[in-house]
Amino acid sequence: MRVVKSIKVLRKLLRKEKLSNHKIGFVPTMGSLHEGHLSLIRNCRRENEISILSIFINPKQFVKGDDFSSYPREEKKDIFLAKKENIDIIFFPTNKEMYSDGHSTVINVEKLSTVLCGKYRPGHFQGVTTVVGKLLNIIEPDTLYLGQKDAQQAIILKKMIDDLNWPVKVNICPTVREKNGLAMSSRNQYLSDNEKKEASILFRSLKEAKHTILSGQRDSKKIIQSIRNLITKNSSAKIQYIECVNADTLEKLTILKGKVMIALAVHLGRARLIDNIQIAVK
Amino acid sequence: MRVVKSIKVLRKLLRKEKLSNHKIGFVPTMGSLHEGHLSLIRNCRRENEISILSIFINPKQFVKGDDFSSYPREEKKDIFLAKKENIDIIFFPTNKEMYSDGHSTVINVEKLSTVLCGKYRPGHFQGVTTVVGKLLNIIEPDTLYLGQKDAQQAIILKKMIDDLNWPVKVNICPTVREKNGLAMSSRNQYLSDNEKKEASILFRSLKEAKHTILSGQRDSKKIIQSIRNLITKNSSAKIQYIECVNADTLEKLTILKGKVMIALAVHLGRARLIDNIQIAVK
């Protein structure tokens, strides 16, 4: 395994692989690796000759009020874990390597970036699409691995890749959860043991809602209200949003039909937590 | 020579070339080829194993008041000229092939896109950067050929490529001019014979300004005024702007120093004409 900090060195390493027609898989992360990331890495390893993990805490996707300065940084542990998974290359650039002075180009997926989390974190998804666009150009992978936990991020990146014709496939892997259902996230580190227990209500309420929908409920207002009640009764979480949307367009649904996604974001203790569930409704 | 309308077919053709490590050169155009384009093509042919010309009148770079509907379309003549230059592939997509319904991703180079022409054609350069980003992802060329006549466009595209790490070199080729000095442009077709004669004052006034600067003048106001006087006295052109800027940052200069670019845009008859000159000032 090699840890590479320089774009130039990385390109040189990859040039040979490309000319040998080796498949390159890529897992972009902000480090602080957990089982969710490791599952992406395992899928990537299985499907490619060369697997690359990037670790870059991208300042441009943190917006005002976000946790950029306190975001967990665990370089040594991350390298240890990635090595255990037989990653071929870790790309670990500095801010300076990624953003030259006077960097002024942005990629923006309009509409999709302004709803759900985008409404509360304006500029966040532009930061994500810009940095992933850069990483795609640096690495030129055959397949990009993303987690379903960040559903809106995955949908936006897929849209960017389609709209701008990036020659890369996207593999969206299922959310990995704690035993109690809490979706794995680097930000779970912010939670106390007790808050972690409380946080289990997020996925429980989504599963309950799915059950209610599959039993015939089609009124999104009622579904949202029942999730809100469950979360409020069973935790100290402050709800930012709970929405029923179309899973492709992210448009709000009044009547639940087609590819439905229920997505939510809450603040619990020091953490902002998100989760989602998808339901095919006839 | 092959004329390809489909992205999928084009990629299949290029895949083989890439695996053979053949250098691919790319000349993006909106068709209506003139000697300026042909000079780009000749540079491209000389430096690459495979040369690709794209012809696409990109609707997204025409803004309100622009000449999208009347822009010259000369498919047959263009194919004839490209064949004569031994282009390997012409990529000639439809609007639908380039922009799916619901296309919503944009690339924007901030600051540089809002000055000079960008001030008068808001959104124009975003249309250019977005379509060229797409074309770079579709073709994955080793070198991109652009004309110095569209200096701001070339500077913005170079900035986009640097900022987003596109793995492509940029070759900016000198402006090709009519005998009377008028910069070649597809829009020169809009001019009457008499207007073409009048239009020669644009480059003459720029050359005159360069001479004055090299003789010691450093005051941009005086330079701009002298160009304005020459154009106004010798033609019916309506001046949109005349500016002295730094040739890298496009920032306005009061005192002329360093890499100076004088850029101008005028309306003459039905045409909007642009031109520029660069001067290294000690």
Domain A2-173 top-level CATH class: alpha beta
In A, minimum Cα distance to B249 occurs at A102
Query: Residue ranges per domain, chain A?
Result: 2-173, 186-281
CATH superfamily of B186-281: Pantoate-beta-alanine ligase, C-terminal domain (3.30.1300.10)
Determine which one of A22, A37, A103, A211 is catalytic: A37
Q: Which of chain B's residues have a Cβ under 8 Å away from the Cβ of A131?
A: none
Q: Which of chain A's residues have a Cβ under 8 Å away from the Cβ of B167?
A: 11, 137-138, 140
Q: Nearest by CB to B140, from A138, A159, A167: name it.
A: A167
Whether B11 has its CB under 8 Å from any CB of chain A: the answer is: yes
Q: Which of chain A's residues have a Cβ under 8 Å away from the Cβ of B103?
A: 163
Whether B7 has its CB under 8 Å from any CB of chain A: the answer is: yes
- The pLDDT of B159-169, averaged and rounded, is 98
Q: Are A184 and A203 in contact (CB under 8 A)?
A: no
Do the domains A186-281 and A2-173 match in fold? Answer: no
Contact B134 A107 (CB under 8 A): no
At A133-191, the pLDDT tens digits run 999 999 999 999 999 999 999 999 999 999 999 999 999 999 999 999 999 999 999 99
In A, minimum Cα distance to B133 occurs at A164
Q: What is the pLDDT of residue A19?
A: 87
Contact A103 B166 (CB under 8 A): no
Count contacts between A and B (CB, < 8 Å). Answer: 80
Mean pLDDT, chain B, rounded, equals 97
Q: What is the pLDDT of residue A139?
A: 98
Q: Nearest by CB to A167, from B21, B137, B164: name it.
A: B137
Q: What is the pLDDT of residue B19?
A: 87
Q: Which of chain B's residues have a Cβ under 8 Å away from the Cβ of A140?
A: 167
Whether A19 has its CB under 8 Å from any CB of chain B: the answer is: yes
Whether A6 has its CB under 8 Å from any CB of chain B: the answer is: no
B11 pLDDT higher than 90? yes
Q: Which of chain A's residues have a Cβ under 8 Å away from the Cβ of B106?
A: 107-108, 110
At A44-69, the pLDDT tens digits run 999 999 999 999 999 999 999 899 99
Interface test with B, best of A6, A14, A16, A107 (most B CBs within 10 A): A107
Q: Tell me the percentage of chain A whose pLDDT exceeds 90.
A: 98
At A4-30, the pLDDT tens digits run 999 999 999 999 999 899 999 999 999
- The pLDDT of B158-181, averaged and rounded, is 98
Q: Are B33 and B75 in contact (CB under 8 A)?
A: no
Q: Tell me the percentage of chain A whose pLDDT exceeds 70.
A: 100
Contact A163 B100 (CB under 8 A): yes
Mean pLDDT, chain A, rounded, equals 97
